A and B are shown apart, each in its own frame.
Chain A
């Protein structure tokens, strides 16, 4: 048993931390909240120049094909810095979906280089996580597919070169590639708590050539596999945010004085922080255990589900505590805790929410 990181992994963390500090500090994050695009192109370009962008893409497609542990190290840093980008949607989820489906592989080198952005569109008003409830329909008509329906909470759809749309087709769940020129008119921004760049996308009898568009007629298994990997990466993002929040609150408790001494010398404050530090430490290794299991070909689904449930819950609690410890300044827009507070809740509910995770975990426990 060895829960320490390798030298290479420590170097990867350092590289990523420097990259985030240089190209995506919190002032950039604030600017991105106001921008239509929602992410820094400079940060994006550097991420791919360093090769980190293609971290989960196979070498034959131009990626670097590192493990989920390495990817988690990268995402901890993105979580620490709140760096927004479509990397998760494109180079983690979409790349994996195409790779597992062995279809439209020509997109992979472009995703691995950061040149193309692909985004999965799956959620609907009546289907958040359980894709069997998806209502968007794809109907065969000659050599074409006619797409009808509405997707919601689609990240960075305005920057996407194409969407991977999950749709019902002849009783199964198909994945359909829709290029940007075909959905641009159906986009509507969805304002949200964390100022994430999210859109609803409507397809109104959209006609697409089947041979170019159909990724696979049955994506169910690949989708589940992709998301189970994805939620480990999302867990890492949450852990990074929680670690940063804990550091900020601890630093503040050391410098802020009331009643003539640093507030961190009061046990009411110190014990909040001790509880948070304990939870963060525990769920951090819960997440790495899931990543390790996946990297080593061991059963990992239950660990991944538990990890997403716990890491995002701990992130959320850490931000509630962090805001509280900052007192009045904690709820001001000017100070930074609010940035974390909003994102923590957002990350808890996006990409499989607790209600869904709990039911899947329970199903596994009770058989």
Chain B
């Protein structure tokens, strides 16, 4: 048993920290390193953030786990994870879906043409992707999706609607799951396509969210794409979607944001007074804080189980479900607790001059709501743990 990262991994972490130290001095640092954006900070949704990702690519940090044949370094997935851990800790954009699930699926199943077209651009951070999965009638039951793709000569014509396409308003391409065989069983009639976001048949409308993040619904109205943009084989899409989720298990859920927030909370409680006494001296707050800190350490352990499973070439499906379930609700409770300690002043938003920590916890309370819903709800995680982990019927 060893709870430390290896010497080589620790050297890499130090290297990334140095890179990020230099980035802190960059004129765009405030835009690029914004932990208060919560999970929204993962995105490269502004020109400054795209430039940041380009610099990541230039430093050799994109595609580390890809084979050298495709311009990667052939390193273990642990390095992608370690990089994301550092990036998420400072609220910088993560290495993203391109290097992660989309690039890896193209490498595994894509045609030579797709590989040539997309892989080099992914490594240069030239493409941002959106994921077109959820629909109005297909949320937790994703396999029941109904956006239709019909073959017409050398083309496919897509019609329907996608929901919660968070990156639609800034992405260049969308990775879309569509129904290609309505007569087949629901898991067996789905295919995956790449659709350029500037296609005239797409209409993107904003959905405003509780946390202030933008997400979108995307309407597909006779969107024609060449058969070249069908990923892999027709009607094998569900397999690719599930595999892509597995590719992400390694990197998707980092623990740094939770650890960093805990540190911020501790400092705040030390310097914030109520009735003349520091909040850190309040016995009720001390007791709740002891428990919260212990729970954050427990979350870290669940996260370590995920990466250990992934490092041993297992697919740590149950471990990942456990970590997501435990850590996301903990993030919500942390924000709730932080607001409780602040009392009514905690309600003030960042624009209000008196807002403690610039309204960090007010924002966090609203922004963390999505975490127990997006990327598979807590209830879906519990189903995975119960059925696959405990073999319940």
Contacts and interface: CB of A to CB of B under 8 A. Distances in A.
Interface string B355-393: 000000000000000000000000101110111011111
Nearest to B5: A1
Contacts of A282: 298-299, 301-302, 322, 326
A271 interface: yes
B301 A362 contact: no
Interface string B308-321: 10011000000100
Interface string A336-367: 00000000000000000001011111100111
A274 B389 contact: yes
B31 interface: no
Contacts of B280: 362, 366
A80 to B, nearest CB: 17
A221 interface: no
A286 B297 contact: yes
Contacts of A264: 386, 390, 392-393
A193 interface: no
A254 B297 CA distance: 32
A365 B301 CA distance: 19
Contact of A1 (B293, B302, B311, B386): B311
A2 B385 CA distance: 22
B351 interface: no
Contacts of A69: 1
Given A271-B386, A358-B290, A281 B302 contact: yes
Decide if the interface of chain A is mainly helix, strand, loop or mixed: helix
B3 A292 contact: yes
B294 A277 contact: no
A360 B287 CA distance: 10
A358 B389 contact: no
B392 A270 contact: yes
Given A3-B3, A274-B385, A306 B393 contact: no
B390 A262 contact: no
A275 interface: yes
B169 interface: no
A273 interface: yes
Given A250-B392, A254-B392, A292-B3, A267 B291 contact: no
B322 A278 contact: yes
Interface string A268-310: 0011011101110111111011001100000000010010011
Contacts of B381: 274
A365 B289 contact: yes
Contact of A309 (B294, B304, B326): B294
A343 to B, nearest CB: 21
A250 B389 CA distance: 11
B382 A270 contact: yes
B308 A3 contact: yes
Between B1, B311, B387, B391, the greatest number of chain A beta carbons within 10 A of the residue's beta carbon is seen for: B1
B152 interface: no
B387 to A, nearest CB: 8
Interface residues of B, number: 46
A4 interface: yes
B252 to A, nearest CB: 17
Nearest to B324: A278
A75 B1 CA distance: 17
B338 to A, nearest CB: 14
Contacts of A273: 386, 390, 392
A253 interface: yes
A278 B4 contact: no
B102 interface: no
A277 B326 CA distance: 11
A362 B4 CA distance: 25
A11 to B, nearest CB: 15
B322 A281 contact: yes
Contacts of A6: 1
A274 B321 CA distance: 10
B157 to A, nearest CB: 39
A4 B386 contact: no
B331 to A, nearest CB: 15
B295 interface: yes
Contacts of A365: 266, 289-290, 293
Interface string A11-29: 0000000000000000000
A261 interface: yes
Nearest to B386: A270
A306 B308 contact: no
B260 to A, nearest CB: 15
B391 to A, nearest CB: 8
Between A283, A309, A366, the greatest number of chain B beta carbons within 10 A of the residue's beta carbon is seen for: A366
A250 B393 contact: no
B116 interface: no
Given A283-B298, A306-B297, A1 B304 contact: yes
B293 A306 contact: yes
A359 B392 contact: no
A265 interface: yes
B75 interface: no
A209 B1 CA distance: 47
B93 to A, nearest CB: 26
B301 A254 contact: no
Contacts of B387: 270
A286 B293 CA distance: 12
B256 to A, nearest CB: 16
A5 B308 CA distance: 12
A275 B4 CA distance: 27
A281 B325 CA distance: 12
Contacts of B383: 267, 270, 274
A275 B311 CA distance: 25
Interface in A1-52: 1-6
A310 B304 CA distance: 17
Contact of B295 (A2, A4, A310): A310
A283 B297 CA distance: 9
A361 B294 contact: yes
19 contacts: A2-B1, A3-B304, A4-B1, A6-B1, A261-B393, A262-B393, A274-B390, A275-B382, A278-B325, A279-B326, A282-B326, A284-B301, A289-B301, A292-B1, A359-B286, A359-B287, A359-B290, A365-B289, A366-B286
What are the 8 closest A-B residue pairs judged by CB atoms, nearest first? A362-B286, A361-B290, A285-B301, A270-B386, A274-B385, A274-B382, A358-B290, A306-B294
Interface of A: 1-6, 69, 250, 253-254, 261-262, 264-265, 267, 270-271, 273-275, 277-279, 281-286, 288-289, 292-293, 303, 306, 309-310, 355, 357-362, 365-367
Given A278-B322, A358-B290, 4 more contacts: A282-B299, A289-B3, A358-B291, A366-B269
